[in-house]
Amino acid sequence: MKIRSERGFTGIDISISVVIVFIFVSLIAALIAQVNSKSKEISLRSDATYIAINEIEQVKNNGIETYKGMSKANGNNVVCENEPIENEEGFFRTITVEDYADIKENTDNENTEENEEIIPDVVKRVTVKISYMFQAKEQSVELSTIVSKENE
């Protein structure tokens, strides 16, 4: 009967185990980094959505006139472009107010009668775009709503 000698681990055993451990550790680290990146992206997007909803609510509650003095007026369109948001570092807002009568989709509607005209300055479409930087790329969230004279 031959008894095998137990001298310990050989160099090949140790090097194979080190390679296997290194592969598993690097895979786990890459997975954790990707989960953290996606988590940060989701957090920024939800913050931008929250800010956009608040801006829409401010327009509905305070009226469109509060935004007319912010930046520049172009006919009926009121535009506030890439303005930093107070108390929200890294977020910028762009607010566009369009008269519903000026929106191209409404003038080409086949369902409207020939004599029917859309009255200007009664209904407006407000579009709020919140932009932010994530991984050296500009990301944005855009919401729009229709505001009527009764809401003002």
Segment 64-122, tens digit of pLDDT: 766 554 444 455 566 778 888 888 888 998 888 887 766 655 555 555 455 456 666 67
Measured distance CA(55)–CA(61) in Å, rounded: 10
pLDDT in tens, 54-78: 988 888 887 776 655 444 445 556 6
CA distance 69 to 51: 20
| Residue ranges of domains in the chain | 11-148
Dihedrals phi, psi of 146, to nearest 5 degrees: -105, 130
pTM of the model: 0.69
